[in-house]
Structure 1
Amino acid sequence: MTTWIAFFRGINVGGNNLLPMAKLRVDLEQLKLKNVRTYIQSGNVIFDSPIKTAATLAKKIAAQVETEHGFRPPVFVLKRDELQETIQSNPFPHAVADPKTLHVFFLGSQPAKPNLPAIEAAKKPTEQYELADRVFYLHAPDGIGRSKLAANVEKYLGVVATARNYRTIDKLLLMVT
């Protein structure tokens, strides 16, 4: 059995794509996933599965949600080691002191042609970012809600993404350790 972490994009936001976590746990148990646990309402799930590929799990989970709830959210699935590597590779260790300012965007694929000039133009002087394979780190000390860069990451990178603040991913890592 492998321990996996799934991040759902765009659920329980603004009254759209409502997905109660208790029901999601039941839905995932119907897929024979084991030890299913959720963390907060934004779609963070930890589970064990003998399935060996993230892509297969993501497709099965998204299809189950569509069957049960009528919408198909993007689902990003990582192994515990991949989440740990994401945290260890944090290029902004100073931002950990204020974890709500540090965001990690998990990307659906590695961007083929990221629009780096647009990223630079949208970035506030106080913001810092780094793109590393399928992860985009953003330190936004003035807040993520006011960041034009954060609002346009998918457009600039050309891939689907979901973001979590550092506190959330750190908590998830503690839950799987």
Structure 2
Amino acid sequence: MTIYIALLRGINVGGHNKIIMAELRNSLEQLGLQNVKTYIQSGNILFESDETEELLQTKIHEKIKEDFGVSSVVIIRTAEKIQQIVSQSPFSDQEISEAESSCKGECLHVALLPTAPSKANSDKFLSFVNEKELSVINGRDVYLLFYDSIRNSKLGNNLKKLEIPATVRNWKTLMKLSSMIEEAKRMKSK
């Protein structure tokens, strides 16, 4: 069985699209997903399945819509891909350290997309990069480094230029998901 991470967009944000994580875990177990675990309330789900990313994306989206009345974008990544995202940050330790020293809140984020954006849309989005807001697009993943804040940033507010729905996670969340993956791998090997 493959270990996957599902990332839901817009769950439990600002009092909208409320889903209790225990209920979400139960709902997803009804789909046959194994060892379902969640992290915080924003829709980060670790599970195991033999099905493909594409099929899981559709099934999870439909199940959430059916059980909770919420139509959320569902982004799926394998455990290996999440760990690759974490291990291959395009920003240097020095860039991250400098950003952290001036940033209000989390400075490093990754926007995860269901498919890679077109070159034209990537170019439109990257035109908003400046000395305080950096970005690197790597396939379906968009790394974002802010020296001030993601809130009200031109770069963050223009993710829509990619013309693909995205869900954004800060680095702390991705690191926690990576450690949950390591724990799940340890449990599988026992």
Length-normalised TM-score, structure 1:
0.92
| Contact 2:124-2:162 within 8 A present in 1 as well | no
Any unmatched runs of 5+ in structure 2?
183-190
1:136-169 Cα offsets, whole Å, 9 max, x none, are 101012011131211221x221211111001100
**Which residue number in structure 2 is paired with residue 130 of structure 1?**
136
Q: Aligned ranges for residues 144-159 of structure 1 at < 5 Å? A: 144-153=150-159, 155-159=160-164
Q: Within 2, Cα distance between the matches of 1:96 and 1:23?
A: 37
**Shift in Å, 1:58:** 0.8
| Contact 1:124-1:147 within 8 A present in 2 as well | no
Any unmatched runs of 5+ in structure 1?
none
Letter matched to residue 67 of structure 2: E
Q: Relative to structure 1, is the Cα distance of residues 54 and 117 closer, same or farther in structure 2, using a 3 angstrom cutoff? A: closer
Q: Relative to structure 1, is the Cα distance of residues 46 and 145 closer, same or farther in structure 2, using a 3 angstrom cutoff? A: same
Is 1:166 aligned to 2:165, yes or no?
Answer: no
**Which residue number in structure 1 is paired with residue 126 of structure 2?**
119
**Which residue number in structure 1 is paired with residue 186 of structure 2?**
none
Q: Within 2, Cα distance between the matches of 1:32 and 1:160?
A: 26
Q: Within 1, Cα distance between the matches of 2:135 and 2:69?
A: 35
| Contact 1:123-1:147 within 8 A present in 2 as well | no
**Shift in Å, 1:124:** 4.1
**Which residue number in structure 2 is paired with residue 64 of structure 1?**
63
Q: Indicate the percent of aligned positions where both proteins have the same amino acid.
A: 38
**Shift in Å, 1:96:** 5.2
Letter matched to residue 40 of structure 2: I
**Which residue number in structure 2 is paired with residue 28 of structure 1?**
28
Q: Between Structure 1 and Structure 2, how many residues are aligned?
A: 174
**Which residue number in structure 2 is paired with residue 46 of structure 1?**
46
| Contact 2:76-2:114 within 8 A present in 1 as well | no
Q: Relative to structure 1, is the Cα distance of residues 87 and 71 closer, same or farther in structure 2, using a 3 angstrom cutoff? A: same
Aligned-residue RMSD, C-alpha: 1.6
